[in-house]
Amino acid sequence: MNNAIFHFDNPANEPVKSYAPGTPERKTILDELDRISSEVIDIPLIIGGKEIRTGDTGNVVMPHNHQHKLAVYHKAGEKEIKMAVEAALKAHKAWAEISWIERISITLKVAELLRNKYRALINAASMLGQSKNVMQAEIDAACETIDFLNFNAHYISRIYENQPHSEPGILNRIEYRPIEGFIFAVSPFNFTSIASNLNMSPAVMGNTLVWKPATTAILSNYYLMKIFMEAGLPDGVINFIPGQGSLIGNIVMSDPDFAGLHFTGSNRTFNQLWQASSANLPKYRTYPKIVGETGGKDFVLVHNSAGVDEVATALVRGSFEFQGQKCSAASRAYIPESLWPAIKERMLEKLSHITVGDVKQFSNFMNAVIDENAFNNIMGYINKAKTSTDAKILHGGNGDKSVGYFIEPTVIQVTDPHFVTMEEEIFGPVLSVFVYKDKDFDKTLELVDNTSPYGLTGSIFAQDRNELVKACRALRYSAGNLYYNDKPTGAVVGQQPFGGARQSGTNDKAGSYLNLLRWISPRTIKETLIPPTDFRYPFMQEE
């Protein structure tokens, strides 16, 4: 038994590779894209470490070339969903009791496998399956996943080293127990790293899980699961069950041992799952922990002291990278009348260089949106703008789904700051701009704060420090991640812990110790060294 006390230092973030012409990583990823594109793999369920094929299958296609099939995946039915719950419960005891160093060792090994052996695989699978360009895949699937894993080791050692004070004669301890029962991880399509972290954060704290991946991210998520297993994750700690969300959700959430939900996705789904947990509450052995990060309507607020070029660049990158399908993507901008002509000109000039297309063509800044539903939904918003007198399309506005789900980067100028595209999450390459009178900056602060139900990310651009501070105060609850003079996307693990409140989620800050704290159920143990033997207290003695 190794009884050493371990401490993991704050790690460095994983360096982002450039994929510039002539670099070795560029050649490797191009080869890997060709390899993955030339095969159609069969994706089973993985329950208790065993591959299960149900025969009820669906196809995995490339969003940018939807006739190209990448894989066939098997869907979980009622029987397999129940098996996954049983497997998670069966694995719980050994996983909870093993030393946390052994758990950390497995997660660090996953990070190492991703850093070298599988970097190209996980990036290429995310590029082809989720239509990310190579840079978007690299910062997500490789770097952020590695960071989540490495930083968790550091945070855990900080959490576990906390012990309560003990008075003389007493020894107090806190045992950081995993939660009794199993955790349900439900992951979104848009970040491979989130899919990993929704599982690995609870797992590293000693919990076992049932994992429902997003149907549109199954390829990269399946490879993640295989890498977890190669790193030595014991059977049943994570059980991978693709399939229909509502079927899986209903069965899993009605199990008496359901003890926690780790979710990222839309509000609609999160609300359904929370309501299911409320409806099932009397059945549960433990009050479940509900952690969910949901939608956003992220703003860029520009003061008239801001730099024009930096605003134009932030709007282009913040709104259109990964086709605006980041929960943090800029989707509404408030720009002062005095700066608008210059910002508009620079922004439109930059946008004129953007091409949308296949991920293998590295000159494309943008690729396809995730599927036909997303395409139709986004085009619906754009068409509303086309037919409204309150809105004018300044750039883009067209989509074509014949080969892939391609939508041009679209900028809408609105005259009504409450026009629907300023208020609702669109989750696509659409930026709405409202131009305000310079003297109305204070009123605009209220507008930014009150316009949307969300509170995820936002940026303030200003050189005037007093105005910057004023805006920061006024927008205290408008964003959980606020940026000064920067785009509202691109949070880095260990540097900008991520999450927002209001309708954006429970704000448990993925990529920080705050998230890990949700996955424990501490037990306090008090030991009295010399226990009393007389029940009477001193005050009871005669004078």
Q: Does 242 bind ligand NAD (CB under 6 A)?
A: no
Q: Does 198 bind ligand NAD (CB under 6 A)?
A: no
Q: Quote the CA–CA distance of 278 and 372 in Å, as a whole number.
A: 33
Q: Which is nearer to ligand NAD, 206 or 505 (CB)?
A: 505
Rounded to a whole number of angstroms, the minimum distance from the CB of residue 243 to ligand NAD is 8
Task: Print the SS3 string covering 47-113.
Answer: ECCEEECCCCEEEEEECCEEEEEEEEEECCCHHHHHHHHHHHHHHHHHHHHCCHHHHHHHHHHHHHH
What is the number of alpha carbons within 13 Å of residue 292 lying toward its C-beta? 26
Token pair, residue 445, equals 């602060």
Q: Does 272 bind ligand NAD (CB under 6 A)?
A: yes
Among 65, 145, 199, 269, binds ligand NAD (CB under 6 A): 269
- Give the range of 106-114, 167-175, 181-189, 517-525 binding ligand NAD by CB under 6 A: 181-189
Question: What is the gyration radius of the CA atoms in the chain, in angstroms?
Answer: 25
> Could you say which of 86, 293, 321, 467 is catalytic?
293
Across-strand partners of 399? 407
Q: Does 456 bind ligand NAD (CB under 6 A)?
A: yes
- Give the range of 123-131, 167-175, 294-302, 458-466 binding ligand NAD by CB under 6 A: 294-302
Phi, psi (deg, nearest 5) at residue 62: -85, 125
Q: Which is nearer to ligand NAD, 32 or 425 (CB)?
A: 425
As a dihedral over the C-alpha atoms of residue 461, residue 463, residue 469, residue 475, rounded to 10 degrees, the angle is -10
- CA-nearest of 331, 316, 315, 263 to 294 is 263
Q: Which is nearer to ligand NAD, 394 or 492 (CB)?
A: 492
Judged by DSSP in three states, 321 sits in helix
Rounded to a whole number of angstroms, the minimum distance from the CB of residue 318 to ligand NAD is 14
Q: Does 327 bind ligand NAD (CB under 6 A)?
A: yes
Name which of residues 245 to 264 contact ligand NAD (CB under 6 A). Answer: 245-246, 248-249, 264
Judged by DSSP in three states, 433 sits in strand
* Annotation says 143 is catalytic: no
Task: Print the SS3 string covering 335-379.
Answer: EECCCHHHHHHHHHHHHCCCCECCCCCCCCCECCCCCHHHHHHHH
Rounded to a whole number of angstroms, the minimum distance from the CB of residue 325 to ligand NAD is 7
> Could you say which of 327, 408, 425, 467 is catalytic?
327
Among 445, 505, 515, 518, binds ligand NAD (CB under 6 A): 505
Across-strand partners of 258? 182
Would you give the DSSP letter of residue 215? G
- Give the range of 29-37, 65-73, 241-249, 398-406 binding ligand NAD by CB under 6 A: 241-249
- Give the range of 138-146, 288-296, 315-323, 340-348 binding ligand NAD by CB under 6 A: 288-296
Q: Quote the CA–CA distance of 230 and 46 in Å, as a whole number.
A: 13
Q: Does 63 bind ligand NAD (CB under 6 A)?
A: no
Rounded to a whole number of angstroms, the minimum distance from the CB of residue 6 to ligand NAD is 30
Q: Is the dihedral of CA 239, 241, 246, 247 positive or negative?
A: negative
Distance in Å from the first CA to the final CA of the chain: 56
Spacing of C-alpha 405 from chain mean position: 22
Where does residue 181 fall: left (phi above 0), alpha (psi -120 to 50 degrees), or beta otherwise? left
Rounded to a whole number of angstroms, the minimum distance from the CB of residue 263 to ligand NAD is 7
Number of residues that bind ligand NAD (CB under 6 A): 33
Q: Which is nearer to ligand NAD, 188 or 429 (CB)?
A: 188
Q: Which is nearer to ligand NAD, 52 or 479 (CB)?
A: 479
One symbol per residue from 480 to 499: x for binding ligand NAD (CB under 6 A), - otherwise; what is it? ------------------xx
- CA-nearest of 437, 483, 473, 189 to 318 is 483
- Give the range of 140-148, 265-273, 407-415, 532-540 binding ligand NAD by CB under 6 A: 265-273
Task: Report the interface residues with ligand NAD, using CB under 6 A.
Answer: 186-191, 194, 212-215, 245-246, 248-249, 264-266, 269, 272-273, 293-296, 327, 425, 427, 456, 498-499, 504-505
The catalytic residues are 293, 327
